Amino acid sequence: MQSKRRSKTALFEVALLFLPAIPAYLWLWPAVTGTAWHTPTQVVVYVYLVAGTLFIGLRRWSLDELGLNRRGMGLSLACGAAFLAALLLGRFATNLPFAPRPPAFMRLAWEVVYYFALVGLIEELLFRGLIYRALDEWGGARLAIWGSALAFGVYHLSQGPLGMFGCFVIGVVFGMIRWRATGIVGLILIHGLLDSLFIEGWPDLTAKSITGLQITNRPLVILCDALLVGVLLYLWKLRPRMQRP
């Protein structure tokens, strides 16, 4: 009973953490998008999120209990890599142009820091760490997987309905990996790699750019679907769950 109470309180505090998102979407992001202030603003937002996540989470759980450990790292990397391969196959199976950016050392170095140390680390610690743990203690693994995935989708509201749905699907897969592995370090690495690859390979990818998207290679689509279904079935039915701290 006490664990459910602390979980509900933690989730309420997480909701309060996101209250500034309302004026941010209405005023801040439209004002800074496309300007020199866009990247510094993103960094400030992630610092705010990690500070809030740690403040809320560490008053109730240890970092190990929030999943910040290497437990199940091999599982996370293997299933995450298979899922990433499925996404890439899906991209190459369509007429979406592959237009990688010209290599530039400083930009690549910054993206490694940004997408691994900020985006990957902080988003995984928040969604598959704090939110997952609180939902798991409150209502069990099923609620934790679907609830954290829904929160992850809503968090990407600015990407439009299609982007939100895609992030929700990613959230479900990552949530299932979190359930089986009980650690998030592998997910942090996969998350950073996923964002980096798509930013480098499809830098102009938006909801508008995929209007009129067509399948050009059906065997790749079948392989993509088989990989995705295989990963989900393996996590759901075949993989024994590791001991949760």
d(CA 94, CA 110): 30
pLDDT in tens, 66-78: 999 989 999 999 9
Whether residue 243 has pLDDT greater than 60: no
Q: Name the one residue in this structure whose structure tokens are 């937002």.
A: 45
Query: For residues 75 and 181, what is the distance between their CA atoms, to the nearest angstrom?
Result: 6
Nearest to 17 by CA among 46, 43, 42, 41: 46
Whether the per-residue pLDDT at 14 is higher than 90: the answer is yes
pLDDT, position 93 = 82
The residue type at 227: L
Per-residue pLDDT tens digits for 116-147: 999 999 999 999 999 999 999 999 999 999 99
Mean pLDDT score across all residues of the chain: 88
Tell me which range, 42-56, 79-93, 231-245, is most confidently predicted by mean pLDDT. Answer: 42-56
pLDDT tens column, 39-48: 899 999 999 9
The single-letter code of the amino acid at 196 is: S
**Sign of the alpha-carbon torsion through 30, 31, 34, 39:** negative
Q: At what angle do helices 141-155 and 132-139 cross, to 10 degrees?
A: 140
Give the whole-angstrom CA distance, residue 85 versus residue 13. 36
Region 25-32: mean pLDDT is 83
Q: Which helix (H) or strand (E) holds 112?
A: helix 105-112
DSSP string computed for 199-213: HHH-TT--TGGGTT-
For residue range 209-237, what is the model confidence (pLDDT) as tens digits? 566 677 888 888 899 889 999 999 899 88
Confidence check: pLDDT of 165 > 60: yes
Q: Give the residue with greater pLDDT, 236 vs 239.
A: 236
Q: pLDDT confidence of 27, banded at 50, 70, 90?
A: confident
Residue-level pLDDT at 207: 54
Q: How far apart are CA 6 and CA 16, in angstroms?
A: 15
More confident residue, 25 or 98: 25
CA dist., res. 109 & res. 141, Å (int): 37
Q: Are 57 and 130 in contact (CB under 8 A)?
A: yes
154, burial (CB in 10 Å: exposed 0-12, middle 13-18, buried 19+): middle
| Mean pLDDT score, 141-157 | 95
Q: How confident is the model at residue 92 (pLDDT cuts 50, 70, 90)?
A: confident
**Cα diameter, the chain:** 56
